[in-house]
A and B are shown apart, each in its own frame.
Chain A
Amino acid sequence: MLLSIVIFLPLLGVIAIALLRGLGANAVKWIALGIGLLTFVISIRLYTEFDTANVGFQTNSEVYQKLDWIPGIGASYHIGIDGISLWLVLLTTFLTPICIIAAWNSVEKGLSGFMMSLLALETGMLGVFCALDLFLFFVFWESMLIPMYFLIGIWGGERRIYATIKFVLYTMAGSALMLVGILALYFQNNNSFDITTLQGQFEPSNLLFLAFFIAFAIKVPLFPFHTWLPDAHVEAPTVGSVILAGVLLKMGTYGIVRFCLPLFPEAAAHYTPLIVTLAVIGIIYGALVAMVQPDLKKLVAYSSVSHLGFVVLGLFSQNGTAIQGSVLQMVNHGLSTGALFLLVGMIYERRHSRMIVDFGGLAKKMPIFATIFLIVTLSSIGLPGLNGFVGEFMILLGSYVGGAFSKWYVVLATTGVILAAVYMLWMFQRVMFGTPNDINASLPDLKPREIAVLLPILLFIFWIGVGPNTFLKPMEASVKEIEAKVRVIPETPAVGQVNHQTDTDDAVVDVKTATLKINEEEALSK
């Protein structure tokens, strides 16, 4: 029941707001915030009740649920979480109340509709991460499109209609193929949509793999399917961008790790060179394009393309460390990029511009803003001690030492880390330093509400950076299981050793942290 409550509480909030919106804007805001916080608080119990020894999905009846839904089709209401979805669920419930507070004063028209969309979106996203039935998964996957479509289309910027339609059509085109794949799996799975019983060889595995992979690659987005992302991000309202970058993109990488890899390991191995090439192109291309963006939001959007390239790289490495790093990096990216979008939104509200050239010298007038911005920027670059480093390091290390592909891919991908430092720090310099012009000199610093929005994110940025084992431990068993399923290359002793050390031994992580710190500093000094 617990998990069902977490999933459907926001939907209850939608209904409550629909019924009570006559009470005025303030009531609507507080209802939304109350529901959002309550969902988050309840979802924390998912973590405290989590049994790390459990391989696969949690069997606790509070979390695991299976009920007949449409017996005529073979679909059931079947939900549960494992160590991978746990973090994505928590990320979703964590970011939603933050988004509600962030949108507190910035929505001018249709506030109740905005909050309803946001909460409906939360239900959709949580459903995607928790569904253990392909039919249910697809229902959530598609239904989450509608609130996002409204969020961008109604409350977005100038070219919002173009952006929102592009977003919906890209996703739908991908999911159309996935639907065919789901149906084909259904008949090979004894006429059942049950994800937990899906195993063995599916035919034609290469085509089925692609049917799923393309849908997820569009969502990630993997180069060359990424063109919808900058449009959607730039036109979306701040909160829309936060949710989009923070959670929606993770649905693609989650789909890969949940379906593409374990169900079609051979097909995945077959396409790994192609996919990893695309991922590396995405890393470098995203970074290079981000470097020349004059618009802050577009810069962050392209940096997402680059960052998610790392995640895909790690996922296809067939190496436990790298896969674990990828899962952690999903959460990291949600926190850092979400925070960046929030910060860009705050400065946009003050200055009504997102152009880098319009800024300069903000650090003097807005010290709190500048400090937080710096921390988040560094976290996005991957400074040791902050969250981004742990994930990226694990991905690069795992795929270099035990990856199923040439080490040159990893070497090329590492340049992305350097490029990230270039575009982020250069942007920071242009925005924050120098002498402020008249308009910028009069900008007020962050208000308490805005600080309250950012502080929780900062807490996790540091927490993951300093004590990643809190987060790595619960996902270990699940990642090991995925790794065992995807491994088609012969296991070398060195790989096993590295796995063992990174996953279990805190001290080793610290040592590596130190080593890479030096590398990182070298990179920066260049």
Chain B
Amino acid sequence: MPLEIPDINWSLLMPQLVIVSTLLIVLVFDMFDAISKKTLGWMTIVGAGIALWSSIDLLQAGIDQTQFNEMFRIDSYSLFFNIIFLVSTILVALVSISYLGSGDKKQGPYYLLILLATLGMMLMAAGNELIIVFLGLELMSLSLYVLASYFRESPASSEAGMKYLLLGAFASAFFLYGIALVYGAAGTTNIPEIISKLSVDDQSSLLSASPLFLAGIFLLIVGFGFKVAIVPFHQWAPDVYEGAPTTIAAFISAGPKAAGFAAFLTIFVDALPKLPTQATGVIVLLAMLTMTVGNVIAIAQTNIKRMLAYSSIAHAGYVMIGLAAANPDGKSSAMLYLFIYCVMNIGAFGVVIMARTTDGENLMISDYAGLGFRKPLLAMFMTLMLLSLAGFPPTAGFVGKLYVFKSAVQAGHYWLVIFGAINTAISAFYYLRVVVTMYMREPEEELEFKPYPPTLVIGLVLAAIGILLLGILPSLLLNPAQNAVL
């Protein structure tokens, strides 16, 4: 049998190719000591910017194709997720430049790993094939393990990396085992083929009733559950977020979560209606648990990074609502929500970085007392991000939540929506508590703040504009998201 080499349309792979070339350039330039390490950060931003531009370009052209023997999908769905990942990468790189400082010699690998992780995410979103999804997942995860422990001198950072590695490896194993079982039952790892086999109404070989297949699906849920940190697979998240460098915590909480959901949605939104109803029940239950546990535990946090970690767990629960709805609106609402969530969450972590004193970072919520009047810009950014996370109009967070809820009501999951809505009220309590601390309490001690680095301010201004713009004119993003699932 002659080897068949598929025709590859490289121009459709532009975003991925740009990222690969950027990371090679960063790798090479890192070797020259004469080049300021900050330049590497700017290169990352420019590279991601070009990739973003070409993704938008492809999205507007309405491309819908597969490449590499149907393993790789370039359609509005994957391109939309590319935009989420690249926006996150750009924002994280912007806040990182000043965070790492100029003295550190080891900045090259930092940006390199961020770019590699981004590439992994793009693979996950574009994967039309469980193997590709797994490859992307590993590429992303391995980069993140290293990034989490990037501050080697800090025990907390090393601990974070170690925990993340151990639990992440377990999750990968579950995931891989799930793939194996699904393959065993369905005879293919191609996602559309698996879905179409589910639709076959042949009682004798009903795939959706096969125990092997269901076990595989269950293991896939566990694997994804770990990666996107839904309850009860969430325990790693707070420790990793707290220990990891704040920029990396922002990064892990944003892009990788979106990537995990990208693959999760690809498989499950189409598969859920065809699976036994218990599968939907499991997803609904996980969504309820995730929101409630995340929000309730967040109330008890005194450390702002841990609070944001639990809040990001809760937000995964809101995205799960869209997944549970398992209709086109559910899918596009989850996509929209993930975009908005990434921007506001990176923004919130960005403000945590901004509130650095000469002694280091202010991680206790009580340290924010009185900032409202002494640091108006910082407090304003923080308030905006938190209000958006809490889902107050006219911020983007409100539109995101409303759209997710709407899709679930359409699917008839009233209880799920009531749960979500009540959780929104619970979450307002701890988000507003930070605002209360900033504006309504007097500081206990005078803190010396570092001056704001310009790149950080640029990043936060971009995030703030994005949140307000999407809150007032959500159609900008809603239309592409809706087109992507048609």
Binding site for B on A (CB under 8 A): 69-73, 109-110, 135, 138-140, 142-143, 145-146, 149-150, 153-154, 160-161, 164-165, 168-169, 172-173, 176-177, 179-180, 183-184, 186-187
B417 touches A183 (CB 8 A): yes
Query: Is B414 interfacial (CB 8 A cutoff)?
Result: yes
What are 19 A-B interface contacts by the 8 Å CB criterion? Answer: A70-B399, A70-B478, A71-B475, A72-B478, A73-B402, A138-B402, A139-B398, A142-B392, A142-B398, A154-B372, A161-B441, A165-B433, A172-B428, A176-B424, A179-B417, A180-B421, A184-B409, A184-B414, A187-B410
Chain A residues whose CB sits within 8 angstroms of the CB of B441 once the complex forms:
161
B475 near A70 with CB under 8 A, answer yes
Is B409 a contact of A180 with CB atoms below 8 Å?
yes
Q: Which residues of B contact A110 (CB under 8 A)?
A: 373
- Which B residues are CB-close (under 8 A) to A165? 429, 432-433, 436
- Report the Cα distance A138→B393, complex, angstroms: 9
- Complex contact A142–B393 (CB within 8 A): yes
Nearest B residue (CB) for A211 = B418
Partner of A169, one of B406, B428, B473: B428
- In whole Å, how far is A208's beta carbon from the nearest beta carbon of chain B? 11
B16 proximal to A (CB < 8 A): no
Q: Which residue of A lies closest to B475 (CB)?
A: A70
Among A139, A149, A172, A187: residue with most chain B CB under 10 A = A172
| Closest-CB distance, A321 to chain B (whole angstroms) | 37
Q: With the chains together, A72 CA to B478 CA distance in Å?
A: 7
C-alpha gap A143/B479 in the complex (Å): 24
Name the residue among B417, B433, B440, B473 with the largest chain A CB count within 10 angstroms.
B440
Chain A minimum-CB-distance residue to B477: A72
Contact B478 A73 (CB under 8 A): yes
**A180 and B414 contact, Cβ closer than 8 Å, known pairs A169-B428, A173-B422:** yes
Is B475 within 8 A of A72, CB to CB? yes
Task: Tell me whether B402 and A176 are in contact (CB under 8 A).
Answer: no
B89 located at the interface, meaning its Cβ lies under 8 Å from any Cβ of chain A in the complex: no
Within 8 A of A (CB), among B406-449: 406, 409-410, 414, 417-418, 421-422, 424-425, 428-429, 432-433, 436, 439-441
**Chain B, 238-260, contact with A by CB distance < 8 Å: what is the 0/1 string?**
00000000000000000000000
Q: In the complex, what distance in Å separates the CA atom of A69 from the CA atom of B478?
A: 12
Task: Verify A161–B428 contact, CB threshold 8 A.
Answer: no
Picked from B421, B424, B440, B482, the residue with its CB within 8 Å of the CB of A161 is: B440
Q: Is the CB of B422 within 8 A of A176?
A: yes
Count of chain A to chain B residue pairs whose CB atoms are closer than 8 Å in the complex = 91
Judge whether B405 is part of the interface by a CB distance below 8 angstroms: yes
Please, which residues of chain A bring their CB within 8 A of the CB of B432? 149, 165, 168
Within 8 A of A (CB), among B372-392: 372-373, 387, 392
The answer to whether B409 and A109 touch across the interface, beta carbons within 8 angstroms, is no
Residues of B within 8 A of A177 (CB): 418, 421
Cβ–Cβ < 8 Å partners of A150 in chain B: 439
- Answer whether residue B134 sits at the interface, using C-beta atoms and an 8 A cutoff: no
Would B436 and A143 count as touching, CB distance under 8 A?
Answer: no
Answer yes or no: B403 CB below 8 A from chain A CBs.
yes
Dominant SS among interface residues on chain A: helix
Q: Which residue of A lies closest to B424 (CB)?
A: A176
Contact of A73 (CB < 8 Å), options: B387, B392, B403, B439? B403
Q: Which residues of B contact A183 (CB under 8 A)?
A: 402, 405-406, 409, 417
Q: Which of B418, B422, B425 has the most CB of A within 10 A?
A: B425
Q: Within the assembled complex, what's the spacing in Å between the Cα atoms of A145 and B387? A: 11
Contacts of A169 in B (CB 8 A): 425, 428-429
CB contact list, B440-486 vs A, under 8 A: 440-441, 473-475, 478-479, 482
Give CA–CA (A184, B392) in the complex, Å.
20
The reply to whether A154 and B439 contact each other, CB–CB distance below 8 Å, is: yes
A-B residue pairs, 6 tightest by C-beta: A176-B421, A172-B425, A139-B393, A72-B478, A183-B409, A143-B393
CB–CB B405/A153 < 8 A? no
B417 touches A173 (CB 8 A): no
Q: How far in angstroms is the closest Cβ of chain A from B158?
A: 39
- Size category, B interface: 35 or more
Cβ of A254 to closest chain B Cβ, rounded Å: 19
CA distance A145 to B373 in the complex (A): 21
Give complex CA distance A153, B439 in Å.
Answer: 8
Residues on B with beta carbons closer than 8 Å to the beta carbon of A146 = 387, 392
Indicate which residue in B418, B429, B478 contacts A180 across the interface (CB closer than 8 Å). Answer: B418
Give CA–CA (A180, B441) in the complex, Å.
35
Q: Please, how many angstroms separate the alpha-carbon atoms of A168 and B479 in the complex?
A: 33
Q: Does B192 lie at the interface of the complex (its beta carbon under 8 Å from any beta carbon of A)?
A: no
Cβ contacts under 8 Å, A72 to chain B: 474-475, 478-479, 482
Closest-CB distance, B471 to chain A (whole angstroms): 9
Specify which chain B residues have a CB less than 8 angstroms from the CB of A109 in the assembled complex: 373
What is the chain A residue whose CB lies nearest that of B478?
A72
Contact B394 A143 (CB under 8 A): yes
Minimum CB–CB distance from A370 to chain B (whole Å) comes to: 36
- Given that A71-B475, A72-B478 are known contacts, is A161 also in contact with B398, CB under 8 Å in the complex? no
Chain A nearest CB, measured from B156 CB (Å):
32
Least CB distance, A143 to chain B, in whole angstroms: 5
B contact residues around A138 at 8 Å (CB): 393, 402
CA–CA, A69 to B475, complex, Å?
8
Supposing A109-B373, A143-B394, A180-B418 touch, asked if A168 and B406 sit within 8 A by C-beta, the answer is: no
Residue of A nearest to B479 (CB): A72
Query: Which residues of chain A come closer than 8 Å to B403, judged between CB atoms?
Result: 73
Instruction: Indicate the member of A140, A180, A184 with the most B CB atoms within 10 Å.
Output: A180
User: What A residues does B473 contact at CB under 8 A?
Assistant: 70
CB distance from A13 to the nearest CB of B (A): 17
- Bound Cα distance from A69 to B372, whole angstroms: 34
Bound: A135/B406 CA distance, A: 11
In Å, the complex CA distance between A164 and B433 comes to 11
Question: Which residues of chain A have C-beta atoms less than 8 A from B425's C-beta?
Answer: 169, 172-173, 176
- List chain A residues, Cβ under 8 A from B474: 70, 72-73
Report chain B residues within 8 Å CB of A161.
436, 440-441
Residues on the A chain within 8 Å of B439, using CB: 150, 153-154
- Given A72-B475, A165-B432, A176-B418: 10 more A-B contacts, CB < 8 Å: A70-B474, A72-B474, A139-B394, A145-B392, A149-B432, A154-B372, A161-B436, A176-B422, A180-B409, A187-B409
Bound Cα distance A150, B379 (Å): 13
Q: Which residue of A lies closest to B394 (CB)?
A: A143
The minimal Cβ–Cβ distance linking A428 to chain B, given in whole angstroms, is 35
Partner of B392, one of A143, A153, A180: A143
| Across-interface contacts of B417 in A (CB, < 8 A) | 179-180, 183
Closest A residue, CB atoms, query B414: A180
With contacts A146-B387, A179-B421, A180-B417 taken as known, whether A168 is within 8 angstroms of B482 at the C-beta atoms is no
Chain A residue at minimum C-beta to C-beta distance from B373:
A110
How far is the CB of A183 from the nearest CB of chain B, in Å?
A: 4
A176 to B405 CA separation, bound complex (whole angstroms) = 11
Name which residue of chain A comes closest to B336, CB basis: A72
Which B residues are CB-close (under 8 A) to A153? Answer: 436, 439-440
If A72-B478, A168-B428, A180-B418 touch, does A154 touch B440 (CB 8 Å cutoff)?
yes
With the chains together, A372 CA to B73 CA distance in Å?
A: 76
* Chain B: CB-nearest residue to A204: B414
Which residues on the A side are within 8 Å of B405 (C-beta)? 179-180, 183
B393, B399, B424, B482: the one within 8 Å of A172 (CB) = B424
- In the assembled complex, how far is the CB of residue A180 from the closest CB belonging to chain B, in whole angstroms? 5
B427 — nearest CB in chain A belongs to which residue?
A172
CB distance from B328 to the nearest CB of A (A): 12
List, in ascending order, chain A residues with CB within 8 A of B392's CB.
Answer: 142-143, 145-146
Residues of A near B475 (CB, < 8 A) are 69-72
Measured CA separation A501–B227 after assembly (Å): 71
Instruction: Select the residue from B393, B399, B406, B473 with max chain A CB neighbours within 10 A.
Output: B393
Closest to B332 in A: A72
* Residues of A with C-beta under 8 A to B440: 153-154, 160-161, 164
The 8 A CB mask of B96-117 against A (1 = contact, 0 = none) is 0000000000000000000000
- Which residues of the other chain, B, contact A71 by a CB distance below 8 angstroms? 475
Closest-CB distance, A288 to chain B (whole angstroms): 31
